[in-house]
Each structure stands twice: as structure tokens, then as C-alpha cells.
Structure 1
Amino acid sequence: MDAPAVARTPTGRKLQLAALLRHLREKRHLTQHEAGRAVWSRASAASVQNKIARLESADTGITIEDLDALLRVYAASDDHRRLATTLNSELSQRGRWQGYRSVYSESYRRYVDLEEDAELIRFVANERIPEVLQCEAYARAERPSGQMADLAVQAQQARQQVLLRDAAPWFYAVLSESSVRGVQGDEHVMAGQVEHLITLSRRPNVTVQVVPFNTGRGPRVITQKGILERFALIRLASPGVLGELPRHLDYAFTRVGDELNWSDDVQHYEDLWSRASSAALSPHETRAFLRCVAKDFR
């Protein structure tokens, strides 16, 4: 068995465990009700199915004893038992969202964790530069002064380290021209932000593309006024034997205001991503375009 890539965060491990348990159940050709009934024989039919459904969507945890019983029902191999036990350990979020990390809302925390665990991140943005690509001056210009603003900037800068670390994820961003033209702070701040984008885009794991105003391509995603939808696609490593499970676990988040909300329709956003990236300038053309934008701000 190849060594699986165990996620760094409790959120990532819970999602990997959910995918592994769903795979083991389906491999045994058991329904959620049948699997749940075998472990919780005294519970109602609706209750046992709900337990398995929530477990397979990573909405709940499971005790060591119940996990062991479920793995016996699935006739799991020793390798899968060890993997499931590893994934089920250290799932507590207690104390993780203190200090500068306390600025994140409950709904945003799942995304932040998956950003840390991701193998691949794809982001489509309009009006604003995504937080993970912001320089410090731009991040501060976006927020009112005060302690919470300082914490928010610290959080944003810490997130950017995901792109700079060893074994960093592949990161792709498609940005509307409006996101690099709209002034945050002043023109000096914007010139620095655009230069920061150019610098990041030269990293081997980071690709930045811009959709200019004058494009007519990309129906339903791109208009002459820019990108219509903001969303992120996160790819997590699969938690099992290559060839048994899909190689990757994909998740979609849509952006509404300052929130990133979980979406069940990953394929829809895969299609939108394809249209947005096809409508954008190439990475080389984007750097040339950004150099012109930076000059306009000077």
C-alpha cells in the first residue's frame, strides 16, 4: 500500500476519513442504512442512516469504538484500519482558532484549513485581489485600523505562506481586470500590489491570469465588465490506495461578500473555471499586462 498523504488539519483529515469510509462501504455493496444498523442495532432506521450520511459528508465525528465496529462491518484490511485510525485522531479544533486566527468566521474556517491542506487551489476573483495574493499594504488598505484589522492582516500574511513553503500547492488565479484597476488605499499601494502579483506569478507553483475588460469570450462567466462569479476550487490528496479511490478529492466554495460558502456542485464550478481560464490572457501576457498597469499607477 502506498503511503497516503494524510492532511495537516483536522478538517482535511475528517474529509479524508469520510471519503475512505464511503469507499469501504460501497466496496462491500452496503447501503448507509445497512452499515449503520450493523453498528447501532438499537437505533431507529432514520437515525442509523443519518449517522452514516453525516459521517460520509464529514459533518460529524465517530468514537474509536464505533469506528472499530464499522471497520469490522466493512471487513477493512489492516492497512485501511491503520489509515482510518490515523485520520480519526487529533480531530479536535480546540484552541486552533485563537490569536490572529480568531478573525475567521465559522463558515470560513473550513476553507482556510483546506487551503493549508490543498494540492491544488484555483481561484476566480473580481473587484478584489484574493487574500492569499495580497501584499501587506493592500491588505491594510482594505481594512479599518484597529486591533481586529491588525489581526486580519496577520492572518492574511500567514495564509500566503502556504504558497511559499516547501511542498507548496499548485495555485492558479484568474482575476478580472477590475481587481487590479480598483484602487485600495492609493496609487502607491496599488503599484506595490501589482508588482507583488508579478513577483508571485514567477514562482513555479503560482500561475496568475487576468481577464481584460475588452474580452468577449466566456459566456456566463465573463462579460465586458469583467468576471461575474467569484469562487474557489480546492483539491485534496486522496486518503487511500492508488487505483481504489479517486486520485483527488475536489471541493468548491462560492464567494458572497466576505464569506466563502461550501458548494455541492463541484462540476458546475469546474466548467466555469475552464471558461474563465480560457477567456484570460496567458501567464506571459498577464505579466506584460500587469507591468503596464503598474506603470499607470506610478
Structure 2
Amino acid sequence: MTVAARTPTGRRMQLAVLLRRLREQARLTQGDAGRSVWPSSSAASVQNKIARLESGDAGIKLEDLRSLLAVYGVQDAAVTDLALQLQSGLSQRGRWTGFRAVHDDATRRYIDLEEDATLIRLVAAEVVPEILQSPSYLRAEHPATRADAPELQAKLARQRTVLLRPDPAQFYAVLSESCVRRTQGDDAVLREQVAHLISLSRRPHITIQLVPFRPRGPVRPIARTGLLERFALLRLTTPEVPGKLPEHLDYAFTKSGADLTFSDHVRHYETLWTEATAAALTPAETRAFLTTVLNELD
């Protein structure tokens, strides 16, 4: 049985998928399922409740969840226990306080899913993505901010939680060459950053590839804008249901300036990911290239 996600956002998404599969297995429509649990509500209202529940946009009360499981004919105690465990971990109360309060709602959703992801893929241009930034590069990005400021604490904590925990996700990053050519702060900062990327790339769960200024082949984002489009793809595992093959759930997020946006166009970004990796140097070539850049900075 799938282990419950660490965060409330991840658990809500897992519960959404689990309940959708159970409804489909019971061969019920969303309207039929909703009317069985909320018989006094309108047809449109109950269908909307189930739809929002199955998309992860809404939670469900414990008593309603028990009723829904009964409607679906769930008799497997392990499935029931998983559903109840996921429902009990949906509260966000008190999680975004202290230095974590600096994050806006969109970033909070991303950070939760990033923490729960088993596979993280991101593409970045011009600036090294926050999760890969060395401490001095991170401070250079916020020159007017004290070293102990909440913003910096939050970003460093995110790196520890995602990249450096004992059971990390598989992490892949494709960066434009401009990320390691653009001076952030001064040459000493860039030198530390490049060395940091080399060090991270030696970890077994981290793969870093660089797209040189002259890529290997036609890459649509480069051909269109001259830069790689910045985005992230996150993959979560989903709960197993007897009789159903395990699946995964993919999410896409785009980055424009400081704004992080959830996107429904996962297939589009899967295509861009394939194109970016095809244009990039191999991991070994990337490490050699970064070593050359580091030597040039000495």
C-alpha cells in the first residue's frame, strides 16, 4: 500500500485519486455518488462536491468520507485505513508560520508537492534556480537582506527538505549556459555556485545538464525566445487500489519573474522537457563543462 504523503497538499491529492478510483471501480457517476451521501442537496451541488473532491480542490468531513466509502462498497480494511489516514492529515493549521510565512499561496502549494514528489524535473535560464543556489549566491540575489532573514531561512530550509533529506526524490535539472555565465554578486560568488553545482551533480539522486549557447539540435523554447522556458514537473505516487495498476500523478508549474503558476498543460511541458534534454550536454559532459568554467574563474 502506498505510503501517505508528508504534506497536507500531497495527502489531499492522494485522497482525490483514491476516491476517484474507488468510484470508477463501483461504476458510479459523480452525481450518483454525491446523491447517496448528500440526498437533500441539489444534483448540481452534489456533482460539484464530488468533482472538487476528486480534483483535490476540496476536502471532506470524516463522517461524509465514511459514508462515501460505504457507497463505494469498500470492504478492504487497508483501503479504508488509508483513506482515513489521508483525510486526517489535511489541515494546514500552523504550518506556514515563522520564516515559512514568507511564501505566497502558489509557492506553498508548489513546495508541498515538491516535498512529496518522487521525481522532480526543472528547466531554468539566466538565473540558477533557488533550490540549487549556494548560500552566497542566494544572498547575492537578496543583497539588502540580512543573512538570518526569514526569506533566506525559508529557501535554505527548502533545499534541506528536498535535496538533502535521507530519502530524496530523483532530481533532474536542465540549465542554460547563461546560468553559469551571469555574475551574481561577484566572481567569488559565481565560483562558489559553480562548485556547488558540481558537488550536487555527484549525488546519486541529482542529475544536472547544461544547454550550451550552441545547443545540439533544434529546441523550440530556444528557437522561439532565445532562452529556455522556465518550468518544473513534479511527479507524485498515487494510492494503490486492489485490481487497479499503480499510477503516478504529474503537475506542471511555470515561472515568470517572481511568479510561480500552476499549469494544466503537463503534456506540453513534457514535450519541452524532452527537447531541452536532447539539446543539453550529458551529465558527464556537463560536469566537465562546469569544471572548465570553474577553472576560468580561478
TM range (shorter): over 0.9
**Is residue 2:206 matched to residue 1:206?**
yes
Find the aligned partners of 2:149 and 2:51 in 1 and give their Cα distance.
40
Look up the SS of the partner of 2:153 in the other structure: helix
Shift of 1:251: 1.0
Residue identity in the other structure for 2:112: D
**Is residue 2:23 matched to residue 1:25?**
yes
* CA distance 1:183–1:149, shift in 2 (3 Å): farther
Q: What corresponds to 1:220 in structure 2?
A: 220
* CA distance 1:138–1:57, shift in 2 (3 Å): same
Find the aligned partners of 2:180 and 2:218 in 1 and give their Cα distance.
20
Extract unaligned runs of 5+ from structure 2: none
Shift of 1:154: 1.1
Residue identity in the other structure for 1:203: R
Is 1:10–1:90's contact at 8 Å kept on the other side of the alignment?
yes
Shift of 1:5: 1.8
Extract unaligned runs of 5+ from structure 1: none
Shift of 1:149: 7.7
- CA deviations 1:175-217 (Å, max 9, x no partner) are 0111111111111100100100000000000000000001152
Shift of 1:243: 6.2
**Is residue 2:2 matched to residue 1:16?**
no
Find the aligned partners of 1:243 and 1:159 in 2 and give their Cα distance.
37
- CA deviations 1:57-113 (Å, max 9, x no partner) are 111110001101111111123221111000011211111111111111111101101
Find the aligned partners of 2:204 and 2:226 in 1 and give their Cα distance.
27
Look up the SS of the partner of 2:149 in the other structure: helix
Q: What corresponds to 1:94 in structure 2?
A: 93
Is 1:238–1:245's contact at 8 Å kept on the other side of the alignment?
no
Is 1:250–1:266's contact at 8 Å kept on the other side of the alignment?
yes
Find the aligned partners of 1:257 and 1:80 in 2 and give their Cα distance.
43
* CA distance 1:148–1:57, shift in 2 (3 Å): farther
Q: What corresponds to 1:177 in structure 2?
A: 177
Residue identity in the other structure for 1:193: Q
Is 1:178–1:226's contact at 8 Å kept on the other side of the alignment?
no
TM-score when scaled to structure 1? 0.94
Q: CA RMSD in A?
A: 1.8
Find the aligned partners of 1:280 and 1:242 in 2 and give their Cα distance.
41
Look up the SS of the partner of 1:93 in the other structure: coil
Find the aligned partners of 2:40 and 2:178 in 1 and give their Cα distance.
59
Is 2:194–2:290's contact at 8 Å kept on the other side of the alignment?
yes
Shift of 1:36: 0.9
Q: What corresponds to 2:118 in structure 1?
A: 119
Task: Give the % identical residues.
Answer: 57
Shift of 1:128: 1.1
Q: What corresponds to 1:50 in structure 2?
A: 48
Shift of 1:145: 2.1
TM-score when scaled to structure 2? 0.94
Find the aligned partners of 2:182 and 2:243 in 1 and give their Cα distance.
47
Find the aligned partners of 2:220 and 2:242 in 1 and give their Cα distance.
36
- CA deviations 1:1-51 (Å, max 9, x no partner) are xx3121001011000000101111111222111111111111111111110
Superposed counterparts of 1:105-184, under 5 Å: 105-146=104-145, 150-161=149-160, 162-184=162-184
Q: What corresponds to 1:277 in structure 2?
A: 277
Residue identity in the other structure for 1:189: V
Q: What corresponds to 1:34 in structure 2?
A: 32
Residue identity in the other structure for 1:28: A
Q: What corresponds to 1:83 in structure 2?
A: 82
* CA distance 1:228–1:242, shift in 2 (3 Å): farther
Is 1:103–1:148's contact at 8 Å kept on the other side of the alignment?
no
